[in-house]
Structure formats: structure tokens, C-alpha cells
Structure 1
Amino acid sequence: MEMRTLKIIFLICYAFVFVIRIYYKRRTEQKVIVDARKITQEKGLRLLMLVGVIILPFTYIFTPWLAIANYTLPVWVNVLGILMFVSSLWLLWRSHHDLGKNWSPTLQIREEHGLVKNG
């Protein structure tokens, strides 16, 4: 499978990640925060996540800086990776959907939050 095709598939799947996250984030933004339990390490961990989840993949896709890491994989490995990404998209959507109004991007308790016992 061609690398360009894989990069396009990755970007499409990644766009779905952003759509899911933004949709559910906007649904919960209007609710009043009752208790925000942020720890000091959270900012550092979120920064590391930003580097590993956004900056490195997009640097690899859009610049030649990480071309030294290129290697060819069998087609079945590429297909397996695509299937795993699509499965993880379903899991991401399902977890956000099941949590519904109880979902928040960080550890925050908002009005109308409750304990989710199913889903």
C-alpha cells in the first residue's frame, strides 16, 4: 500500500477523532462546573500528549524531517492498522455517547453529572 494513501487514511480518521471530541466537548461546555479536580501534573501530561498525539504525527505527514524513520511494512500490517484505527474510532464514539452529559475532557464535576452504571 502506498505511503501517501496511508497518510490520507490517517488524516481522515484523525479528523473523525476531532469531530467526536469537539461535538461532545461543546455539549458539556454550557454546564456549570461544580468541582474541578485538576492536579498540577495534568498540564505537563497534556503537553506530552499534545506532542505525541498531534505534533509528531503531523510533523511526519507534512514534513520530511522524520523521513529517516520510514520503512516498508507488509500490506496486511497496514490493513490491520487501518482496522484498528477504525475500531478505536467506534470505541471513542461509543464511550462518549454512553457517558453523554457526564463526559468531560478533564476531571470536572458539573451540574447534572451522575454515576454511569451502564453502557
Structure 2
Amino acid sequence: MNPLTSKIIFTIGIISWLIIRIPYQREQKQNTIVDDRKTLQEKVVRLLLLLGILFLPLVYVLSPWLNFANYHLPTWANGLGIATLALSLWLFWRSHHDLGKNWSSTLQIREGHTLTTNGVYQNIRHPMYTSVLLLCIAQALLLANWIAGLSGFISFSIAYTTRVGQEEQMLLNSFGDEYETYKQRTKRLVPYLF
């Protein structure tokens, strides 16, 4: 596949990703926060994700500055990247949809927050993380550049390892045995595997 075509497809995917989130961000602002665990570390991790998933890929798409780090991918890899991107977008939307008012972009519990265990949360505790992981895989398969292609995966790996334990502890503190039971019957990222 032509590198320009794969750049355009990735850019459309990122724009779609941002559009999916808009209505949920608006709704989030209307909720009252009862437990806020935003820390400097949380802010740094969010900034790192923006850098790896949005900023560096857009620099690569819109300028020649990172071309020194290009590599070659076979056409089948681009096809796999498109399929992975589509799956990522569907799972990202579905995760937001199933969470509804319970969604928060940061470590927060809202007034009236309930534990979501239906839809894609039936078998996976963190399908939104799974969708971002899939987006990062698609990024590496569509942007054939060692910096822009892999920056999403690197930033996601750091964010995941520093955040998911804190998120699970917050949910355990809020929902107690209900969350512990849910945790025992589900997987973190991929049903039946991890």
C-alpha cells in the first residue's frame, strides 16, 4: 500500500477516535466527582499518551521530519493494520457506550457510579485499554516509521503499567466484594487469555 494512503487511513482513524469520545466528555462534565485520584503522575501519563498516539504520528503524517526513521512494511501488514484499526474503533465506541455515565478519562468515581459488568465488560475488565492497545498496533502497521509507528505502543505500555493497578484498587475500594467477584470471573485485556 502507498505510504500516503496508510497515513490518510490512520489520520481518519484518529479523527474518528476523537469524535467517538466527544459526547462522553460532555456528559462527564455534568457528573459530580466523589473520589478524585488525579495526581501529577496521572497528568504526565496522559501527556505521554497524547505525545505517542497523537502528536508524533501527526508530525510524521504532516511533515518529512521523521522520515529518516522509515521502514518498509508488506502490503498484508497494512491490510492487517486497517482491520485492527476498525476493531479498535468499534471497541472504543462500545466501551464508552456500555460505561455510559460511569466513564471518566481520569481516575475518578462519580456520584451514582455503578459497576459496569455488561456488554463488552462482561468478559473484559478494561476493554477501553484493549481498544487503545489495538489502536497502537494499527499505528505500527500503518505508519512505517520507527518513531511514529512505535510511539503509541511505548506510551501505552507505560500508561497501562502505571495506571491499571491504581484503577482496579479504586474500583475495589468503591465496590468491594462486588468488584472482587467481577475481577475473578473476567480478564484484564483479552477474554480467555490475559
Is TM more than 0.5 here?
yes
Aligned counterpart, 2:44: 44
Aligned counterpart, 1:28: 28
Q: How many residues in Structure 1 have an aligned counterpart in Structure 2?
A: 119
SS at match of 2:64: coil
Runs of 4+ in 1 over 6 A off after TM superposition: none
Distance 1:111 1:3 in 2: 47
Moved more, 38-47 or 91-100: 38-47
Aligned counterpart, 1:106: 106
* RMSD between superposed Cα atoms in Å: 1.2
Aligned counterpart, 1:77: 77
How far does the alpha carbon of each residue in 1:28-57 deviate from its partner, in whole angstroms, 9 at most, with x for none?
A: 211111221123311111121121111110
SS at match of 1:65: coil
Q: CA deviation at 1:69?
A: 1.7
Q: CA deviation at 1:106?
A: 0.6
Structure 1 unmatched runs, 5+: none
Distance 1:115 1:77 in 2: 38
Distance 1:23 1:12 in 2: 18
SS at match of 1:115: coil
Aligned counterpart, 2:15: 15
Task: Judge conservation of contact 2:14–2:54 (CA < 8 Å) in 1.
Answer: no
Q: CA deviation at 1:111?
A: 1.7
Distance 2:88 2:54 in 1: 17
Percent identity between the two aligned chains: 57
Distance 1:29 1:88 in 2: 25
Q: Which amino acid aligns with 1:117?
A: T
How far does the alpha carbon of each residue in 1:40-95 deviate from its partner, in whole angstroms, 9 at most, with x for none?
A: 31111112112111111011111111001222211111000111011011111111
Distance 1:103 1:73 in 2: 37
Distance 1:28 1:42 in 2: 18
